[in-house]
Structure 1
Amino acid sequence: MARQERAIRTRNAVLEAAAAVFAEHGYESATIVQILEQAKVTKGALYFHFASKEDLARGVLDHAVTEPPPDHPIKVQTFVDMGLLLAHRLPREPLLRGAARIAADQSAQRFFGWPWQDWVKLTAQQLSAAKDQGEVLPHVDPEQIAQAMVGAFTGTQLMAQAMTQMADFAERVSFLYGLVLPSIAVPGVLGQVDTSPERGARLYADFLAASKAAESAEAESPDD
């Protein structure tokens, strides 16, 4: 059991190190040597778990699953919340940040395809729900706006990484939504939507509290 636990810790350390290196350098420029230095493990330990750099990148992508934010009665708020929550998490979660950089790296597409297409699809669904409720302007095409927002979010992420090591990413994303919403949302909705950078932190705190409560309830429930 102790050996298995050590193996799991080593694998997780290698994955997080790989994610950090991918996030900083991109998939093509990242090297196994950099990942080894970051993980502080031997080459044998790395290759025991992962056969190649491509295998490492797939591991990062597989372990960076994100859940959409809780559904809000105002669907435009749900659309905004998804970006604000991700903007809070990306600087704090190496696996998520590495996966986002791989998804944005054109040189990696021959291996991994277009991971961000799922993000576009989810964004378009949220905007379609907002349009069905009359929250966005009649001319808004959810698919077009989703494509533009995912592209803008990705560009904002890369600039924040290069310029501030993601320190002000939440503020940059908040500013992005502040620019976009007046062009797509009806005036009556604009004043009800919270685009503040602090909202992402509050959403994440609520998510952690709900997860902890669910774990406690499961632990206290009697066995069947």
Structure 2
Amino acid sequence: MVQQQPKQERAVQTRDSILRAAAEVFDEAGFAGASINRILKRAGLTAGALYFHFASKEDLARAVMNAQSDSIIPWLKSEGLQRLVDITMVWAYQLQVDPLLRAGVRLTGEQEAFGVKDATPYQEWSQIMTECLEVAAAKGELQAGVEPAELAEFVVEACTGMQMYSAVASEARADLADRAVRMWRLLLPGIAVPAVIARTQVDPARVQAVIQDAGASRATAARAAEDDRRTTEAAG
């Protein structure tokens, strides 16, 4: 059992390395331009390692498409309506800096070109947002008549169109956060009670600071863990 854990950890790390490398290549070249050899070269791994985790390039593309929430959910600390707003603020920021999220969004949009028709990414976001809004409703944050699932699906639809518009209208979606702020400025008066509108923070700088600070802390922890591992190996 003691020996099994490092193998499992290595398998998880290998899968993550493949997924990240594939995301970078898909982000740069799309599905058609992303060859398995190019992905393997980027990951620094063998074909055997890739096919142990993914059956095909299509399977790998699906995994990237369906990993979008991994770029956003870990950064969230709020709940209710604020959590929903924060999802969109983190999403707007991460689309500029995280290839995994960008590739997932790109592949979701062009999936029919490689023979896939999978609504899972949209449905997953709708479910995540519905849960936020159900909490908001239970806390009395929403106006009467606001149906969580309906509103959640609308926000997913709005964000989908918004990022497509931003990708064309600005360099590297630089204006996406401003568009998200405008969306909430227009939406909040129609869905939230006045007291909640007053305390809901729609601030891109707030979530950017949280992500950057947390990223620095994780990098420090990772370096410390690596130093401990090397010390342990040297002592052994």
- TM norm structure 1: 0.74
The question of whether the paired residues in 2 share the 8 Å contact of 1:76 and 1:126 is answered with: yes
Question: Would the alpha carbon gap of residues 124 and 41 (structure 1) be closer, same or farther in structure 2, given more than 3 Å must change?
Answer: closer
Give the one of 58, 61, 64 matched to 1:54. Answer: 58
Query: Mapping of 1:68-217 within 5 angstroms?
Result: 68-72=74-78, 75-105=80-110, 107=112, 110-164=116-170, 165-209=172-216, 211-212=218-219, 215=222
Q: Shift of the alpha carbon at 1:100?
A: 1.8
The question of whether the paired residues in 1 share the 8 Å contact of 2:96 and 2:174 is answered with: yes
Q: Shift of the alpha carbon at 1:14?
A: 4.5
Deviation digits for residues 63-84 of structure 1, max 9, x if unmatched?
Answer: 54232543436x2111101110
Name the amino acid aligned to 1:119: W
For 1:98 and 1:11, locate their aligned partners in 2 and report how far apart those are by CA, in whole Å. Answer: 10
The question of whether the paired residues in 2 share the 8 Å contact of 1:69 and 1:81 is answered with: no
Q: Shift of the alpha carbon at 1:113?
A: 4.0
Structure 2 stretches of 5 or more lacking a match?
Answer: 1-15
Q: Return the structure number with greater relative CO, CA threshold 8 A, min gap 6.
A: 1
Provide the aligned C-alpha RMSD in A.
3.8
For 1:154 and 1:127, locate their aligned partners in 2 and report how far apart those are by CA, in whole Å. Answer: 19
For 2:166 and 2:59, locate their aligned partners in 1 and report how far apart those are by CA, in whole Å. Answer: 27
Name the amino acid aligned to 1:81: D
Question: Would the alpha carbon gap of residues 78 and 210 (structure 1) be closer, same or farther in structure 2, given more than 3 Å must change?
Answer: farther
The question of whether the paired residues in 1 share the 8 Å contact of 2:163 and 2:176 is answered with: yes
| 1:19 lines up with 2:24 in the alignment | no
Question: Would the alpha carbon gap of residues 69 and 41 (structure 1) be closer, same or farther in structure 2, given more than 3 Å must change?
Answer: closer
The question of whether the paired residues in 2 share the 8 Å contact of 1:157 and 1:166 is answered with: yes
Between the aligned residues of both structures, percent identity stands at 28
SS at match of 2:121: coil
The question of whether the paired residues in 2 share the 8 Å contact of 1:54 and 1:111 is answered with: no
Structure 1 stretches of 5 or more lacking a match?
Answer: 1-7, 23-29
SS at match of 1:115: helix
- Say how many residue pairs are matched: 206
Deviates most, 109-118 or 78-87: 109-118
For 2:169 and 2:221, locate their aligned partners in 1 and report how far apart those are by CA, in whole Å. Answer: 39
The question of whether the paired residues in 2 share the 8 Å contact of 1:140 and 1:184 is answered with: yes
For 1:129 and 1:9, locate their aligned partners in 2 and report how far apart those are by CA, in whole Å. Answer: 35
Name the amino acid aligned to 1:20: E
For 2:217 and 2:201, locate their aligned partners in 1 and report how far apart those are by CA, in whole Å. Answer: 21
Please name the residue that 1:4 is paired with: none
Hey, which of these two has a bigger chunk of helix by percent?
2
